[in-house]
Chains A and B, each alone.
Chain A
């Protein structure tokens, strides 16, 4: 199986604190990887390094087997990695359409924007995501939307860009049951189309249900990797997590 992305012994420090210590992780095509760990385990740092928001102090990042240099968020997106950040990474005063195309606007030559095409695509995505309210239009400001709807906009952005790897950072936080189910359906659809998902979550049950493989992070280190076939219940996963965390 082809590796979409690989982190090889990546270390990231902030001042004197080592947030990530020689962490290695890979995601292959068509799989859903669940990244779990306690608060402060370094999940966010790992994700932000992976998607180019932070640059690693040591270690390599490989895209489809090739080492990349000067990794940044734009390069990550151009390499087919889309992220739905925990904070959604939205600009609330701007319209839904502007948010969906943020940083990857559809352009004419000289940088002018294909506004009509963007609005058409945004309206299509809004329907695809399944916004129930008819009041929601591509030109509505994101600030008027609920938490779940905002998550929908962030996901629409990832869908539009047809990413090969979609990173979902705590995507079910603050969502209703119905909205959570929508996120799950979305993950399964991505997997079905032979693309990959990296799913970060607090809720072990959510992560267990959706993932093929689990990576446990503790105090900046990858302490355990296991396959879904190795365990049979979320409780078992929880027990392994409890036993590994703090034990190393």
Chain B
């Protein structure tokens, strides 16, 4: 019996946070289903959610790594636009879109590396420093693009379009790539040295350093990963809409952060859950679209987003405080 208890308690220690956010997701579905069954069975509601979810997944999942490492980044919402700008500008100038894609992702990684190095080397607060970078990069984009959008219809004729964001018998390809990304990240976070070191660093960076883990390198890599995720999200969205616009990404800033925490990753570092974050994204995406779908006005959206964040925090609180 006691053996059972121990197994269960260890299981909950490892998976409780993910289970919590799955529970919230199911609860939300039930509420919507009861509240507006006719809206709920219409497939176009779920289709809109599935358009939004992949982008949010590319932004949110890397943030889980970063938050687990004990840092935070706000600049990803601008990195998103910078990478999309690089991509769109190069495509417009006749560069092969596949190369543009690689260069765009590389831009995201480079920005992440710069932000991370700045924060780690000068020991800046990641919250404040990345807030600065958020504005700075957005300013750069507005100046460079002259606040004008770029339309890239030509990308549709290139082979990467159907492969990355096309429709495969009615199935949007970006969902397939987002799913691959989630699976990859799950193993990367839980079964790979990178993820394990991130958890040690975020838990107690002094201990990690004493055990020979290069704390700064681990953190910079986590920032780079956030940059890569933001770049993929930005470029995918630009391809889907055939348009880069200079304000893009800003709307995702708070939604992605909300998805991380609603998903059950605690803010204090050392812990994180990829599966939880996927359901966090689901909760946020359904809130965004579901409120409208059931016929309420858009004003309710923010109200419910706020409510769900608070409820989720309270719920995860039940899972326990930080152990030291």
Contacts and interface: CB of A to CB of B under 8 A. Distances in A.
Nearest to A72: B212
A16 interface: no
Contacts, number: 103
Interface string B170-201: 00000000000000000100011110110110
A160 to B, nearest CB: 13
Contacts of A141: 10, 13, 323
Contacts of B297: none
Interface string A72-113: 111111000001010111111111001000111101000111
Contact of B208 (A51, A91, A113, A139): A91
Nearest to B271: A93
A105 to B, nearest CB: 6
A76 to B, nearest CB: 7
Interface string A106-128: 01000111010000000000000
A73 B210 contact: yes
B206 A103 contact: no
B2 interface: yes
Nearest to B214: A74
A94 to B, nearest CB: 6
B207 A90 contact: yes
A40 to B, nearest CB: 20
Interface in A144-171: 144
B209 A73 contact: yes
A134 B207 contact: no
Among A76, A94, A134, A144, chain B packs the most CB atoms within 10 A around the CB of A94
Contact of A98 (B2, B10, B194, B196): B196
B2 to A, nearest CB: 6
Nearest to B3: A134
Interface residues of B, number: 33
Given A112-B192, A134-B2, A91 B203 contact: yes
Contacts of B48: none
A115 B270 contact: no
Given A73-B211, A91-B200, A92-B203, A135 B187 contact: no
Given A90-B204, A93-B203, A94-B200, A139 B10 contact: yes
A103 B270 contact: no
A51 B271 CA distance: 28
A139 B270 CA distance: 16
Q: SS class of chain B's interface: helix, strand, loop or mixed? A: helix
A75 B211 CA distance: 10
Nearest to A90: B207
Given A91-B200, A139-B10, A111 B209 contact: no
Interface string B208-236: 11111110000000000000000000000
B14 interface: yes
B211 A94 contact: no
B172 to A, nearest CB: 30
Given A76-B212, A140-B6, A143-B323, A112 B191 contact: yes
| Interface residue range, chain A | 35 or more
B324 interface: yes
Nearest to B11: A139
Contacts of B191: 112-113, 115
A80 B203 CA distance: 26
A240 interface: no
Contacts of B192: 111-113
B190 to A, nearest CB: 9
Contacts of A113: 191-193, 196
Nearest to B13: A141
A134 B5 CA distance: 11
Contacts of A191: none
B255 to A, nearest CB: 27
B158 interface: no
Interface string A49-88: 0011100000000000000000011111100000101011
A29 interface: no
A95 B10 CA distance: 9
Contact of A91 (B3, B6, B207): B207
Across the A-B interface, the 4 shortest Cβ-Cβ residue pairs: A143-B323, A74-B212, A91-B203, A103-B211
27 contacts: A51-B210, A52-B212, A72-B212, A74-B213, A75-B212, A77-B211, A85-B207, A89-B206, A91-B200, A91-B204, A91-B207, A93-B203, A98-B196, A102-B200, A103-B200, A105-B193, A107-B193, A112-B187, A112-B191, A113-B191, A134-B2, A134-B3, A135-B6, A137-B6, A137-B10, A139-B14, A144-B323
Given A87-B206, A134-B6, A139-B10, 16 more contacts: A53-B210, A73-B212, A77-B211, A89-B206, A91-B199, A91-B204, A93-B270, A93-B271, A94-B270, A102-B211, A103-B197, A103-B208, A111-B192, A111-B193, A134-B3, A140-B6
